[in-house]
Amino acid sequence: MDSPDKALSDKATAGDESGMSDGTKIALVLGFLQLICEIVAIVQRFHPRERARGDSPRA
């Protein structure tokens, strides 16, 4: 009979052929979305929308 640890690891890797479970895929997608949002926030901080629209801050 297999040890309990081996049975747990077999069940954990029984997602699909790629070896990643659905939860892992969702976590990766959410991580990439968060990274994109962080990059957008940094870009907006250094390039305000007023300047991008052509409005002069001196007017």
2-40 pLDDT, tens digit each: 565 665 555 555 545 668 899 999 999 999 999 999 999
Cα distances from 29 to residues 15, 20, 39, in angstroms, run 17, 13, 16
Angle at 40 between CA 58 and CA 45, to 5 degrees: 30
Which pLDDT belongs to residue 38? 97
Q: Does residue 2 form part of some domain?
A: no
Q: Does residue 33 form part of some domain?
A: yes
Which pLDDT belongs to residue 46? 87
Q: Does residue 26 form part of some domain?
A: yes
Per residue, the 3-state secondary structure of 17-35, as one string, reads CCCCCHHHHHHHHHHHHHH
C-alpha–C-alpha distance, residues 31 and 11, integer Å: 25
Total domains in the fold of the chain: 1
Lowest mean pLDDT among 1-5, 17-21, 40-44, 46-50: 1-5
Q: Does residue 46 form part of some domain?
A: yes
**Domain that residue 38 falls in:** 20-53
Written as one letter, the residue type at 24 is: T
